């Protein structure tokens, strides 16, 4: 049974109100409609119904909605951290179709309505650790990726899950240049995909995802570096070979297929030992598997994590 959940963190609610009020004030004083992100408005009206997960959620202080939606990596909307917010309305996230196909008994398509209504939604408060050594804590809303795997019924030869983001060169400013080999792609082993931590997110802070966070549907893999958590997914394919992953394809010596958060394996150009939580000054120690080892370390037993980085 899913029950309605009231945000118990006053700060979160307040922060969002301030954010919206500020927009209103700015909108009445200036008339530059292009600086406003129309998605923030629609996102603030579409509430989701979900239950609150306690098993996998961290009880650490969450980052504010403003922090979470104004400091992003989403190269389809530009390479600067504020570009995704400023260009958010360029992502056409309505009337979405997510195709599930490949080596499965039951290929299917989820539309926008299915994405928020087909599977029971949960709030999962997860740490997200970017490979650039910053981190956030985000109250995601979503369902376990395992739901999709179970419904698709993978064939015996399916070993990996490949994910593909939207390709829309006409509207997405970042796709007008070949800064990456578009569309953005990611992949997991099937056993990683069915781990209960692997989440398909459709919202955060109680509402549908802001465009800059990967609306309307994205992956969250909290024990891996942020770039594995692919945004605005249009296809999930079951395959028999290790799928192409965008950053691994781009710079294989810097970004491996696994990309597990690991303080003992440095990025060739910087250390991964510490991280800065957005909003904090002092750095924190980075934890192996981003602190999720009790749930995922068994997936890698016997593997050399320095080679399989």
Ligand X SMILES: Nc1nc2c(c(=O)[nH]1)N[C@H]1C(S)=C(S)[C@@H](COP(=O)(O)O)O[C@H]1N2
Judged by the rule CB under 6 A, the positions of this chain that interact with ligand X are 72-76, 128, 130, 165, 184, 213-214, 226-227, 229-232
CA distance 247 to 46: 33
CA distance 87 to 96: 19
Smallest distance from ligand X to CB 228, Å: 7
Neighbour tally for 120: CB within 10 Å: 13
Neighbour tally for 45: CB within 10 Å: 8
Smallest distance from ligand X to CB 4, Å: 25
In this complex, which beta carbon is closest to ligand X, that of residue 63 or of residue 158?
63
- Give me the residue whose beta carbon is nearest to ligand X: 226
Q: The tokens of 250 are what?
A: 């781009």
In this complex, which beta carbon is closest to ligand X, that of residue 97 or of residue 153?
97
Q: In which residue are the tokens 């389809």 written?
A: 76
Smallest distance from ligand X to CB 209, Å: 8
Among ligand X, Mo ion, none, residue 195 binds (CB under 5-8 Å by kind): none
In this complex, which beta carbon is closest to ligand X, that of residue 119 or of residue 140?
140
Smallest distance from Mo ion to CB 129, Å: 8
Among Mo ion, ligand X, none, residue 198 binds (CB under 5-8 Å by kind): none
In this complex, which beta carbon is closest to Mo ion, that of residue 44 or of residue 248?
248
Smallest distance from ligand X to CB 255, Å: 10
Burial string for 89-114 (b: 16+ CB within 10 Å, else e) reads bbbebeebebebebbbeeeeebebee
In this complex, which beta carbon is closest to ligand X, that of residue 64 or of residue 73?
73
Choose among 239, 256, 263: nearest CA to 308. Answer: 256
3-class SS of residue 25: helix
In this complex, which beta carbon is closest to Mo ion, that of residue 237 or of residue 246?
246
Smallest distance from Mo ion to CB 216, Å: 21
φ, ψ of residue 257 in degrees (nearest 5): -65, -40
Among Mo ion, ligand X, none, residue 74 binds (CB under 5-8 Å by kind): ligand X
Tell me how far CA of residue 182 lies from CA of 168, 174, 186, 192, in angstroms.
9, 10, 12, 24
State yes or no: cis peptide before 186, omega within 30 of 0: no
In this complex, which beta carbon is closest to ligand X, that of residue 73 or of residue 260?
73
Smallest distance from ligand X to CB 42, Å: 17
| Residue ranges that bind Mo ion, judged by CB under 5 A | 73, 130-131, 226-227
Total residue count of the chain as it appears in this document: 309
Q: What angle do CA 19, 24, 28 make, to 5 degrees?
A: 145
Rounded to a whole number of angstroms, the CA Rg of the chain reads 19
């Amino acid at each position: 049974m899913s029950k309605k959940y009231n945000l118990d963190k006053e700060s979160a609610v307040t922060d969002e109100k301030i954010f919206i009020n500020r927009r209103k004030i700015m909108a009445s004083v200036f008339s530059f409609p292009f600086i406003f992100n129309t998605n923030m408005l629609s996102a603030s009206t579409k509430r989701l119904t979900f239950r609150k997960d306690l098993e996998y959620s961290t009880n650490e202080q969450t980052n504010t909605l403003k922090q979470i939606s104004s400091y992003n990596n989403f190269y389809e909307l530009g390479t600067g951290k504020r570009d995704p917010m400023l260009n958010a309305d360029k992502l056409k996230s309505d009337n979405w179709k997510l195709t599930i196909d490949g080596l499965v008994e039951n290929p299917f398509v989820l539309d926008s309505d299915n994405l928020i209504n087909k599977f029971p939604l949960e709030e999962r408060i997860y740490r997200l650790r970017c490979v650039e050594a910053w981190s956030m804590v985000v109250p995601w809303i979503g369902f376990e990726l395992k739901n999709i795997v179970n419904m698709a019924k993978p064939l015996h030869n399916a070993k990996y899950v490949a994910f593909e983001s939207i390709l829309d060169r006409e509207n997405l400013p970042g796709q007008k240049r070949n800064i990456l080999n578009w569309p953005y792609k990611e992949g997991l082993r099937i056993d990683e995909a069915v781990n209960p931590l692997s989440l398909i997110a459709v919202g955060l802070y109680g509402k549908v995802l802001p465009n800059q966070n990967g609306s309307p549907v994205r992956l969250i893999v909290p024990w891996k570096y942020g770039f594995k958590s692919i945004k605005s997914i249009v296809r999930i394919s079951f395959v028999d070979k290790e799928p192409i992953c965008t950053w691994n394809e781009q710079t294989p010596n810097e970004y491996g297929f696994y990309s597990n958060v690991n303080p003992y394996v440095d990025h060739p150009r910087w250390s991964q030992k510490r991280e800065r939580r957005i909003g904090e000054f002092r750095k924190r120690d980075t934890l192996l598997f981003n602190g999720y080892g009790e749930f995922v370390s068994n997936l890698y037993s016997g593997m050399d994590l320095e080679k399989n980085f």
